[in-house]
Structure 1
Amino acid sequence: MGSNPIEEGLRLTLEKRVEDTDLASRQGTARAEVLSTSKLIMFIEKAVTSLISPYLEEGQDTVSSEINIKHFKPVGLGNKVRCIVHLKYVEGRKLFFDIAVFDENHEEVAIGAHCRHIINLVDFRASLK
């Protein structure tokens, strides 16, 4: 894989500010002006792919296959969120991650687990035809 092997224990922290387009009210999922769960999941996936992408070989990518998130604290417009991802274990081409998201006061916003599969892009595209 890439120049370095994918090893259990890899970690990455990614931060962002909640923007207007991240709000549940803008997503149409609620009228509340807070970070939507769907945008939270996209942020988590971005953190995971940012961690793992440098380890992939040319022509490889990963696709999400499972995500289990408990989103229990609202975060409003302009506030910062920080996602910490940890590669818990590798099982063949499956990668299993632990996830924790915190607000700028270091309070937990969400926790969970995420699984991604390493794919060969050419083979994957061919399987869709």
Structure 2
Amino acid sequence: MELPEFAPGMVARVELTVTDADTAQALGSGDVPVLATPRVLALAEAATVAATARQMPGGVTTVGTRAEIDHRAAATVGRTVIATATLAKVDGRNLTFDVTVREGERTIADVRVERTLLDRQRFIEKAQGQ
């Protein structure tokens, strides 16, 4: 497997307008109608995937292996949040991203996501027990 070369500093952004389906009530992570922590994490991971997508060769992917989240503020239904992922560190096949999730100037969450580069097909086969 030929590994792509990634350099720290790569950046990508994804945005989400919060809907009822994104709330803690809907996802079962709480009983309040605000952006759920699991959805914040999913948004942060989407930003990390977007950061590497253009340089990812066929047959290679990344999988999340670790995440740390500091969910600082609530975002209500109808608000738009933006996750900005920056590749902070490359260590062989391991990539570490710092992600900030904001609503305007307000920080909603800070997330550190670690992903590992791997052969996509081999990973799927192993997961299926083949």
CA distance in 2, matches of 1:27, 1:115: 23
**TM-score, normalising length from structure 1?**
0.92
Instruction: Name 1:16's counterpart in structure 2.
Output: 16
Question: Where do residues 1-129 of structure 1 align in structure 2 (5 Å cutoff)?
Answer: 5-104=5-104, 106-128=105-127, 129=129
- Give CA deviations for 1:46-88 in whole Å, capped at 9, x if unaligned: 1111111211111011100000010010000000101111001
Aligned residue identity for 1:123: R
SS at match of 1:108: strand
Q: List, as ranges, runs of 4+ consecutive aligned residues in structure 1 with deviation greater than 4 Å.
A: none
Instruction: Give yes or no for contact 2:34–2:77 (8 Å, CA) kept in 1.
Output: yes
One-letter amino acid of the counterpart of residue 23, structure 1: T
Distance (whole Å) between structure 2 residues aligned to residue 126 and residue 54 of structure 1: 25
Cα displacement string for residues 4-36 of structure 1 (whole angstroms, at most 9, x for unaligned residues): 732111011222210111011111221100000
Tell me how far apart the structure 2 counterparts of residues 113 and 125 of structure 1 sit (CA, whole Å). 25
RMSD: 1.5
Distance in 1 of aligned mates of 2:124 and 2:76: 39
Structure 2 unpaired stretches of 5+: none
Alpha-carbon shift at residue 121 of structure 1 (Å): 1.3
Distance 1:12 1:91 in 2: 20
TM-score calculated relative to the size of structure 2: 0.91
Corresponding residue pairs, total? 127
1:92-127 Cα distance to aligned partner (Å, 9 max, x none): 0000101111113x1111112110000101221232
Partner of 1:70, secondary structure, is strand
